[in-house]
Amino acid sequence: MARSRSRGSRLGSLSAYRVTSWAGRAGVAAAFLLQALALVDASWTSHAWTAPGVSTSFVFGLLEGLRHLTVVVEVLGSALLFVPGCTAVGALMLSGTAFVTLFARVFFLGGDPIVSLLLFLASAALVGQRRRELVAIWRFHTRTHQPTLATARQQ
């Protein structure tokens, strides 16, 4: 009888972990999707970006391209959070995006970096939680790209 109770408590804690894991991933994905939506909606028509000697169309074209790249990375990373085995990769993509956004807010753009900091911490927590997936991906990658004895003899 004691075994069934301990097994039941383990299953209960496992299901609680799964629920909190899914809820955390959903919260982070929703936050990044809202930020991507805000980037799409934002109007970057301010001429504060112009530098002396650089044409305005070049600067705005570069910024528009970076803004669209950021939106694509955030949407793709948010989608990868829900793909089994790719959660760590999606969290790593989102963490990198949030770090670059935080760096730009602090040193270049100005403004309030709190949202970027919270997004970075949340996505970094997901990376830390799923670090074993990254190690498994790395081991699989290095195992498949090691030269075999037959290819070493041919060289």
Instruction: Compute CA 46 distance to the chain's CA centroid, rounded to the nearest angstrom.
Output: 28
The count of other CB atoms within 10 Å of the CB of residue 76 is 13
Q: What digits encode the pLDDT tens for the residues 42-61?
A: 654 444 444 555 555 655 56
82 pLDDT more than 70: yes
Q: pLDDT band at residue 75, thresholds of 50, 70 and 90?
A: very high
Angstrom distance (rounded) from CA 116 to CA 120? 6
